Structure 1
Amino acid sequence: MSQTNKLGLWVLTALVVGNMVGSGIFMLPRTLLEVASPAGVMLAWGLTGLGVLATALVFGSLVIRKPSLSGGPQIYAKELFKSGSHASIFSGFISTWGYWIGNLAGNIAIITTFASYLSTFFPALTNQQVLFSVGTFTLKVGNALTFIVCTLLLWGTHFLILTGIKGAGKINFIATATKVIGFLLFIIIGLFAFQKSNIVPFVAPRFDDAGETIGLLSQINNAAVSTLWAFLGVESAMVFASRAKKQADVKRATILGLLIALTIYIGISTLVMGMLNQEALIHSEKPLIDAIETVLGPIGAKSLAGLGLISLLGSTIGWIMLSAEVPYQAAKQGIFLSSFLKENTHGMPTFSLVVTNSLGQLFVFSTIFNSISAAFDFVIYIATLSYLIPYFISSVYQMKIVVTGETYNLEPRSRWSDGIIALLSTIYSVWVIIAGTADMKTFALGMLLLFSGVFFYRNVTKLAKQNY
């Protein structure tokens, strides 16, 4: 790929911010207040922010020290074992498989949410009039229109990306810059509309389904697990490391993107608690829109819904780019199916894009068939490990090279600092995995999803033998 077609610092930063600040920001304030008091929410943001910052620093260090290992945090799984061994190839393949499937399902969640926000301007998308019936199946007008919108967005993004990484990156940058400006304006308005009385009581108990009291520490634990989902995508620049103009830009973009996203998330979730009383916020189906409507009226609500569409559009471009890049880069490392190596004249992974979006199209049918919708929710629910395990793997691999001293010959001071950061990131990753998969059903189903790729592993070993 020519230098002119590679990604610069600001486009990489936009990928990080765009993928992190997606649909979740619109519902997270309500979700957090359900499980924690205002004090618990703020402390959870601080704890998660520090944990993810340590993980982001690990990503940045590994990109610079191991530039040949590009494609995402899951790629380091193969480096934990002897090069070329079955353990190395299998661990690399399985972690890539799980991470790819998790991303694929998440893409469609963003796309279907886009259609939901679009219904604010086009109510026909929620029209319950029956279009036709066949047996027990009934297709409603709104469902059919939603299916068309989701399909057009999916494949429109597909063909946009095929034209080249730089063009798609620029559009993502424009969408991300727009939503960052919009959210900063929301924060400024929120500062003037904030009422201290709405966050009182600042420290208050919460109750579980059995009516048992949940104390502040448990509230922080519950909320911190939820806040982690706001940071999924912090590794986006890392996935595109091989397409960056400078490897140092990947680390800078990761840290800068994280700080921008953290400012937006903490600012908005805190201010919304002061714009709506706690009871109204907990029962709100659209907390940000309800909050801005109390200040600016219906025009403000419409404007925020429009900002949501721009936000989701940027996230769609970024996540589809990332999802196709993951198996493509893994195939280049010899740990994924060789067919994913196919690319067009613009250097874009054509086969990977086609497979990723074709599988995504199956999930788009969730807008028509309730049974498929239930299956989609099921996949999203058990995909937790698909994201958490690669973060853990990266931290452990950083610990490994710190212990062995690899790449640290003339940098003893950096070795100590990187070791401390990697240890903190590892502890944080273990804690979140344990807290996020405490339910054995979730854990078992997550492992089932992760290891469903073994049926394709034989084809991977053939490619690996050619590389070693």
Structure 2
Amino acid sequence: MSSNKKMGLMQLTIIVAVNMMGSGIIMLPANLAQVGTISMLSWLVTAVGSMAIAYAFAQCGFLCPRSGGMSAYAEEAHGKSAFFMASYTYYISLAIANVAIAISAVGYAVPFFPWLGSSPVHICIGVIVLLWLTSFANFGGPRLTGRIGSVTVWGVIIPVAGLCVIGWFWFKPDLFMAAWNPHHLPFGHAVSSSIALTLWAFLGMESACANSDAVDNPKKNVPLACLLGTGGAAIIYILSTAVMQGIVPNAELASSTAPFGMVFAEMFNPTVGLVVMVLAVIACIGSLLGWQFTISQVSKAAADAGMFPKFFSKLNRADAPVLGMCFIAAVQTVMALMTISPNLNKQFEVLVNLAVFTNVVPYVLALSALICIMKKSGITGRVYQRNLLICMVALIYSFYGLYAAGMSAVFWGALVTIAGYFIYGFKAYDFEKTTIVESEITEPVVDPDEKELDPVMML
């Protein structure tokens, strides 16, 4: 590809920011309001940690340009089992995240369909129906999914980014300060209780460096775009949630199932609020449509590599892995039933915490491989020291994110992760056998008594 056809720094930065700003933000203001405006400090901590993670992934992608993403990076240091575990836990985290996105959509749809909010069972039915509808819609293949997602994502970006600019005309400092720490939580606990929620909004940054081949001067622009894109998203997240808590009273915001609709109704009128709710529902459906297809592609790639059962690789005429989509929709149905709650916000928070835990596991596997990747690539001096320092910040924050997810999420997440090793045990021999065969082919045995080496063998 010629350099004039490649993306520049600004284009790549915008793509990185848009990739993260899906539907993850639209329910967060209500959950953060339950802690208070002290949760703004959680945003700052998460912004620094997420930028460190994004930069470390950019370095992994540049130094290890093989396919497989986080799974491939993990294998460089931890072996084939890490490739499987990274793929497996990422797959589970996406499944959980999709249920949380469906809950967000249902929450914003309640004013239009009050029946949905009349009981936990009705909410659960709405979530399950939405999960299956978006799965069926993906049977049309990747082209249709991509076109829909590129349009619907603006249903979130426009009101969220717009609120950052115009919302300050309605902002009341006294209202913001009155909600600082309404439950009088200890400082450390108040900050930690929001870390998992804020990290949720940044999930997806690991895909930021996937297309380095289409970028002009990737060695410089990919890491910069990761940092600037993540930083830009962080600014929008912080400003939008901060201004909301200075417009709507804390108690009302904390109990809302459609916080952005509520704040626009407060700023203008109920009709504008309803328009924003419609945009949010459309954005959630589009985001869910895209992530349902993404998770099917993750399982297909793992099946192609022999990690997952072969049925995940089977495609229809539109190149959609239909069986894999139906399987994950069934898994998500079980998750929705298991997490059913009288409080929609509570159900959302439980799922977010579990999604964060299972997503951070492949983060740790991949990030901890950067040291090995740098040594294999011959990186030394200041570049090595700088990357090592940033990688340590990313890992420390990742462990903090695991801790902040809470005991329940850690318990269930640990069980899910350990189950992955149990599953891997059934496939491990096949991988070891393949490795031995490849080794026998690529590393010929040379007689040590030979005085001269064949030049071809030396090559």
Measured against the shorter chain, the TM-score band is 0.7 to 0.9
* Change in 2 beyond 3 A, CA 1:27/1:400: same
Query: Which of 416, 423, 430 matches 2:399?
Result: 430
Secondary structure (helix, strand or coil) at the match of 2:111 reads: coil
Distance 1:67 1:363, change over 3 A: same
Paired residue type of 1:64: F
CA distance in 2 between counterparts of 1:252 and 1:342 reads 38
Aligned to 2:64: 66
After superposition, the C-alpha distances for 1:288-312 in whole angstroms (9 at most, x for unaligned) are 2222211111112101101211220
Shift of 1:283: 4.3
1:57 maps to 2:34: no
TM-score of the superposed pair, with normalisation by structure 1: 0.76
Residues 1:456 and 2:437 aligned together: no
Describe how 1:265-414 pairs up with structure 2 within 5 A: 265-333=237-305, 335-343=307-315, 349-363=321-335, 382-402=354-374, 404=375, 406-409=376-379, 412-414=381-383
**1:158-179 deviations in whole A, cap 9, x for unaligned?**
214x2x3x44223212222343
Query: Over residues 14-48 of structure 1, what are the superposed CA-to-partner deviations in whole Å (9 max), with x where a residue is unaligned?
Result: 88556643444233223223324x3x333221111
Instruction: Write the distance in 1 (CA, Å) between the matches of 2:289 and 2:19.
Output: 9
Distance in 2, Cα, partners of 1:12 & 1:333 = 30
Secondary structure of the corresponding residue to residue 34 of structure 2: helix
SS at match of 2:204: coil
Q: What is the RMSD of the two structures over their aligned residues, measured on CA atoms?
A: 4.0
> Are residue 152 (structure 1) and residue 133 (structure 2) matched?
yes
Matched to 1:181, the amino acid is I
**Is the 8 Å Cα contact of residues 52 and 393 (structure 2) preserved in structure 1?**
yes
Q: Identity of paired residues, percent?
A: 25
Cα deviation for residue 343 of structure 1 reads 4.5
Query: Which ranges in structure 2 are unaligned for 5 or more consecutive residues?
Result: 439-459
Structure 1 contact 18–318 (Cα < 8 Å) conserved = no
Distance 1:11 1:339 in 2: 38
8 Å CA contact 1:93, 1:457 repeated in 2: yes
Q: If the length of structure 2 is used for normalisation, what is the TM-score?
A: 0.78
- Residue 77 of structure 2 corresponds to residue 80 of structure 1: yes
Deviations 1:322-368 (A, max 9, x none): 21232333345554445544456766555543432343355566799
| Contact 2:58 2:223 (8 Å CA) reproduced | yes
- The gaps in structure 1 that reach 5 residues or longer are 82-87, 129-137, 209-213
2:79 matches 1:99: no
- Seen in structure 2, the aligned counterparts of structure 1 residues 171 and 376 have a Cα distance that, compared at 3 Å, is closer
AA at the equivalent of 2:420: G
Matched position secondary structure for 1:431: helix
**8 Å Cα contact 1:8-1:244 kept in structure 2:** no
> Which residue of structure 2 aligns with residue 33 of structure 1?
33
10-19 vs 344-353, greater mean Cα deviation? 10-19
Secondary structure in 2 aligned to 1:314? Answer: helix
1:394-430 deviation per Cα after TM superposition (whole angstroms, max 9, x unaligned): 221113333x2x2245x74432322221121122112
Q: Following the alignment from structure 1 to structure 2, what is the Cα–Cα distance between the partners of residues 396 and 118? A: 42
Among 139, 143, 146, the residue aligned to 1:169:
146
Could you give the per-residue CA deviations for residues 142-161 of structure 1, whole angstroms, max 9, x where no partner exists? 876765454323311x214x
Q: Is 1:21 aligned with 2:21?
A: yes
Asked if 1:224 is matched to 2:195, the reply is: yes
CA 1:12–1:351 in structure 2 vs 1: closer, same or farther (change >3 Å)?
Answer: farther
1:59 CA drift (Å): 1.1
